Amino acid sequence: MANLQKSVPENVQGAFFVDQTCIDCGTCRQVDPATYAEAEDYSFVYHQPQTDEEIREALRALVSCPTGSIGTTTDQPVKTVMDDFPLPIEENLYYNGFTSPKSYGASSYFIQHPEGNWLVDSPKFLPHLIGKFEAMGGIRYIFLTHSDDVGEAARYAEKFKATRIIHEQEAWSQPEAERLIEGFEPVQFLPDFTIIPTPGHTQGSSCLLYKNWALFTGDHLWWEAQEQRLAMPTHYYWNKQKQLESSKKLMNNHFEWILPGHGNRVKLPEASMQVAMKALISIINECSQVNLLNRKEPALRLRRELRKPTALPFPNSDLRPSQKLAASAMRK
């Protein structure tokens, strides 16, 4: 529970606050960017919600916080928003909220499907979510994008007798996973589900492509809302070249949604997504300050680097004319 006495100094006065236990995972800023913003390496409340709907959004961020670092003195009970989760994104796609500190607040998702529901990475293991998943038909498959974001997958697998799917290179993080993906070619797992190994961030990072429409990317790729472009890790690679090759490989696929573990999700028309991907690859190709991923670095530092809006050393103003054109076309 957040402690008002430890409130960070940047909070504007009012009912909501962030305290000093914030680990800067970015979840609150993604769930409710109208209330929460980023200071040096933590979040703060820059605008106090006023209307009922604004308060509801702020509370959704509160219950999604992995570390209980958001507090409120509002009369509206927090429990009133818990039922909002899993939160519909579009059609049968849902955002689970309740991010786990075990995956540093990574987003997880739920796909309701007539042939069995999917969990993509893992939220906290909570009675509330378990009950909601049961009511929605249970969980048949758990897709794990990479070792950092397995969270409570083992407990969900046991509870729902679900099949965990993870790349063999990441299996050390989930040694009892029921299904390992081998090699680095895309695997048509089921007619609507393709698993695309995208090594780079980690050796066995993988994306899940659903219906040639929604791509679940883990920490391989995300959207920078402020700069209106795609981004990926630039300082903490397992292998930079593999990361680039993986991104190029993704361009052979069709998708409109990018649903990441960290960073913002985005939906673009397919043609605009291709432009965005090309722009990203072009920028990354020019990136000169890339270090190999040091897996012994503290997770906190790694995660901070992953979510930095300025992770790429080329702010928009420094883009080459062709890249500016691409970014402009992407926004149309």
Q: How far apart are CA 111 and CA 244, in angstroms?
A: 28
Which positions from 48 through 87 interact with ligand SF4, judged by CB under 6 A? 65-67, 69-70
Query: At closest approach, how far in Å is the CB of 173 from ligand SF4?
Result: 22
Q: How far apart are CA 5 and CA 11, in angstroms?
A: 12
Q: How far apart are CA 238 and CA 329, in angstroms?
A: 32
Q: Is 24 in the site for ligand SF4 (CB under 6 A)?
A: yes
Q: How would DSSP label each residue in 146-173?
A: SGGG-TTHHHHHHHHTPEEEEEGGGGGG
Q: Is 319 in the site for ligand SF4 (CB under 6 A)?
A: no
Output the CA–CA distances (angstroms, integers) from residue 67 to 94, 105, 317, in the order listed: 22, 8, 36
Q: How far apart are CA 142 and CA 139, in angstroms?
A: 7
* Candidates 23-31, 45-53, 112-120, 246-254; binding stretch for ligand SF4 (CB under 6 A): 23-31
- How many residues are given for the chain? 332
Contact mark string toward ligand SF4, 195..224, x via CB under 6 A: ------------------------------
Closest CA to 224 of 259, 255, 265, 273: 265
Among 43, 234, 246, 264, binds ligand SF4 (CB under 6 A): 43
Q: Are 102 and 144 in contact (CB under 8 A)?
A: no
Which positions from 102 through 141 interact with ligand SF4, judged by CB under 6 A? 105
- Residue closer to ligand SF4 by CB (options 22, 232) is 22
How far is Cα of residue 101 from the mean position of the Cα atoms in its chain? 13
* Candidates 20-28, 137-145, 254-262, 324-332; binding stretch for ligand SF4 (CB under 6 A): 20-28
Q: Are 89 and 102 in contact (CB under 8 A)?
A: no
Q: Is 145 in the site for ligand SF4 (CB under 6 A)?
A: no
Q: How far apart are CA 167 and CA 82, in angstroms?
A: 32
Three-state secondary-structure class, residue 269: coil
Among 11, 16, 17, 23, binds ligand SF4 (CB under 6 A): 23
Say how many residues touch ligand SF4, by CB under 6 A: 16
Q: How far apart are CA 319 and CA 301, in angstroms?
A: 27
Output the CA–CA distances (angstroms, integers) from residue 85 to 17, 133, 270, in the order listed: 22, 10, 28
Among 11, 16, 17, 27, binds ligand SF4 (CB under 6 A): 27
* Candidates 18-26, 147-155, 171-179, 201-209; binding stretch for ligand SF4 (CB under 6 A): 18-26
* Candidates 25-33, 116-124, 166-174, 218-226; binding stretch for ligand SF4 (CB under 6 A): 25-33
Query: At closest approach, how far in Å is the CB of 205 from ligand SF4?
Result: 22
Q: Is 7 in the site for ligand SF4 (CB under 6 A)?
A: no
Among 16, 28, 231, 323, binds ligand SF4 (CB under 6 A): 28
- Residue closer to ligand SF4 by CB (options 4, 292) is 4
Q: How far apart are CA 167 and CA 238, in angstroms?
A: 15
- Residue closer to ligand SF4 by CB (options 19, 170) is 19
Among 18, 63, 120, 312, binds ligand SF4 (CB under 6 A): 18
- Strand 43-45 and strand 36-38: the pairing is antiparallel
Binding site for ligand SF4 (CB under 6 A): 18, 22-28, 42-43, 65-67, 69-70, 105
